[in-house]
Structure 1
Amino acid sequence: MPTERLSVVVTRRLPEPVEARLAELFDARLRADDTPMSREELAEAIRGADVLVPTLSDRIDAGLIGQAGDKLKLIANYGAGVDHIDVATARQRGILVSNTPGVSADDTADMTMALILGVTRRIPEGLALMQSGDWQGWSPTALMGGRVGGRRLGILGLGRIGQAVARRARAFGMQIHYHNRKRLRPETEDDLGATYWESLDQMVARMDVISVNCPHTPSTFHLMNARRLKLMKPEAVIVNTSRGEVIDENALTRMLRAGEIAGAGLDVYEKGREANPRLRELKNVVLLPHMGSATVEGRIEMGEKVLVNIKTFQDGHRPPDQVVPSML
């Protein structure tokens, strides 16, 4: 007798090769369009599926998990971050949670460097000038930015992505500094040429560029708050390719408008897709629509990890990328 196939509900459109493989292996309910599911649709999915495959646009909170019946056994998140999932409540209900770590480190680090260069070299201003047709030709003093070589880069969170940023920044001649929950091993610091700061305040006050690369957890919410942002040098810039909630966006906006911080490059925002509208008015700010991991290769690799997690679970084993509350 053939075994019954797992019922898998996918909340967003995924790359075609991933969707095709999901349909081959499981009883997969795929999304017809690329709009987020409503809360009612998520509740229906969570009641009827063996496995839910959400993304960061889906809020899987305690109230939603409470509507799950006995059928749901795995939330196989498409993405590394799980701050949109109440992992503790899921665990209490006997529901496993998995994610897709390590896939997007290089892609996100590339985008971090793009933002650093975009802000310091005023690339969007030059682009806007060319697109408007108002460029009057080369001038010795036009659109002068700053050289990144020799600048101090302070990385907030030296995990996989932070280390990938450090390697790229070092190739650009930047000096690498970092603050982490735990100090890295001496051999890792030596390999990256990185200087550890136990005090985040002291590091922030001395850096030319701050790169936010830590996850969003209760302990990192507004880690870069108004008080800490005021410690930054007026000529310093800050970039964020991690989670918007780590920075107090209103405080950052006020300081950028007042010239108390030289610039910012943001790929993520405190309220999801709702960036502070005042940020769009500023020439010293580069805003991107959460593109850090948006490569064809990376998104397919993420899907492959989801497939492995579900298939391993189906075979009666612990998903290789299982997330437990103690990890958060």
Structure 2
Amino acid sequence: MKLFVTRRMTPRAEATIRHRFDATFRDSTTPLTAVEAAAALRDYDAVIPTLGDGFGAAAFAGEGLRARLLANFGAGTNHIDLAAARAAGIAVTNTPDVVTDATADIALMLMLMTCRRASEGERRLRAGEWTGWHPTQLLGRHLGGMTVGIVGMGRIGKAIARRCHGGFGMDVVFFNRSHVSALDLPARQMPDLREMLAACDIAVIAVPGGTGTRHLIGPAELAALGPQGFLVNIARGDVVDESALIQALHEGQIAGAGLDVYEHEPHVPQGLLDAPNATLLPHLGTAAEEVRTDMALRALDNVTAFAAGRRPDDLVN
């Protein structure tokens, strides 16, 4: 069985993958183009793709498809046209669970950095603009006593909620399209997204990407969050209307934003770079060596199961 891995992995992950399969690793850090994705589907039995790789409908078009599995490295599969894969008879898996805690940790880091103006303070210090401590310098907001609103109460949303409530004593409200029960912490589900945004001090976006959530947060939602509210996005960049967010930051329509993802990665608009009330990270959500290794091994387990004729644990399509 020939396996194609679209990016280099950690040394332990690569060694394990090579031990199990005839694997080719693409030596590039950039996403596959649609042409490259189409070629991979014709040259290999299985592919381990990841964020941004061009497995849109065009990649599945035509005949001669050899691949029968896309074992995605990551929980999100919005870079894969699932309907086109299904029509072509290609199964798709992902890597849930192993990404949960690391992503939730990044959300809390962004909440702290944004509310306490940490990025702004560091920029001033590095530029030589810090003149010393005084009682009113860089006054931010204390997380304790704030209300966090979580958009999307899946695995990651629940992990964020537990950290907010248990670690900081925050009240938790959330919006989810389906009813959520059996939570292990006090949290109030609200039926309307804008109503939830108006009720919270800081909103954290934790929904899957894709056409169903694109621009879920736009001008009206930012207005509901209001001039004292903060926005954190650790989901997918296009869940937020980036142009509307830039306007809201510069015009004081919201207090600040913490972002780990962007609408057109790796491009970050100048308007975001110029916003002093924006904390910007280069998509660090799961960037810990042990987490990335676990993600690769989870994808490998799905390939191994598929090759043995078993149903992979993480089948999404």
User: Normalization by structure 2: what TM-score?
Assistant: 0.96
- Asked if structure 2 preserves the Cα contact closer than 8 Å seen for 1:163 and 1:192, the reply is no
1:107 alignment partner, SS class: helix
Distance of 1:68 and 1:25 partners within structure 2:
29
Distance of 1:81 and 1:144 partners within structure 2:
36
Match of 1:243 among 236, 239, 245: 236
Shift of 1:59: 1.7
Shift of 1:151: 0.7
Distance of 1:306 and 1:300 partners within structure 2:
10
Shift of 1:67: 4.5
Letter of the aligned partner of 1:175 in structure 2?
Answer: D
Equivalent in the alignment of 1:176: 172
Distance of 2:130 and 2:241 partners within structure 1:
36
Distance of 2:257 and 2:113 partners within structure 1:
9
* 1:52-201 alignment runs, 5 A limit: 52-67=47-62, 69-170=64-165, 171-185=167-181, 187-188=182-183, 191-201=184-194
Equivalent in the alignment of 1:292: 285
Asked if 1:208 is matched to 2:201, the reply is yes
2:23 alignment partner, SS class: strand
Equivalent in the alignment of 1:233: 226
Shift of 1:172: 0.7
Letter of the aligned partner of 1:304 in structure 2?
Answer: L
- Asked if structure 2 preserves the Cα contact closer than 8 Å seen for 1:46 and 1:68, the reply is no
Equivalent in the alignment of 1:275: 268
Letter of the aligned partner of 1:267 in structure 2?
Answer: D
Q: Superposition RMSD on alpha carbons, in Å?
A: 1.3
Shift of 1:109: 0.7
Distance of 1:270 and 1:35 partners within structure 2:
16
Identity of aligned residues (%): 41
- Asked if structure 2 preserves the Cα contact closer than 8 Å seen for 1:152 and 1:207, the reply is yes
- Alignment: residue pair count: 316
Distance of 1:28 and 1:108 partners within structure 2:
28
Shift of 1:46: 1.6
Shift of 1:42: 2.6
Shift of 1:32: 2.7
- Asked if structure 1 preserves the Cα contact closer than 8 Å seen for 2:157 and 2:206, the reply is yes
Distance of 1:244 and 1:300 partners within structure 2:
24
Distance of 1:122 and 1:104 partners within structure 2:
27
Mean CA deviation greater in 129-138 or 168-177? 129-138
Distance of 1:233 and 1:71 partners within structure 2:
52
Per-residue CA deviation, residues 5-28 of structure 1 (Å, 9 max, x unaligned), is x10011111111111111111111
1:8 alignment partner, SS class: strand
Letter of the aligned partner of 1:64 in structure 2?
Answer: A
Per-residue CA deviation, residues 51-70 of structure 1 (Å, 9 max, x unaligned), is 01111120201111124624
Per-residue CA deviation, residues 104-138 of structure 1 (Å, 9 max, x unaligned), is 11111111011111111010122122222332211
**After the TM superposition, which segments of 4 or more aligned residues of structure 1 sit over 4 Å from their partners?**
none
Distance of 2:211 and 2:92 partners within structure 1:
19
Distance of 1:106 and 1:154 partners within structure 2:
18
Distance of 1:294 and 1:70 partners within structure 2:
33
Asked if 1:309 is matched to 2:305, the reply is no
Asked if 1:27 is matched to 2:22, the reply is yes
Shift of 1:312: 0.4
Identify unmatched segments of 5+ residues in structure 1.
Answer: 1-5
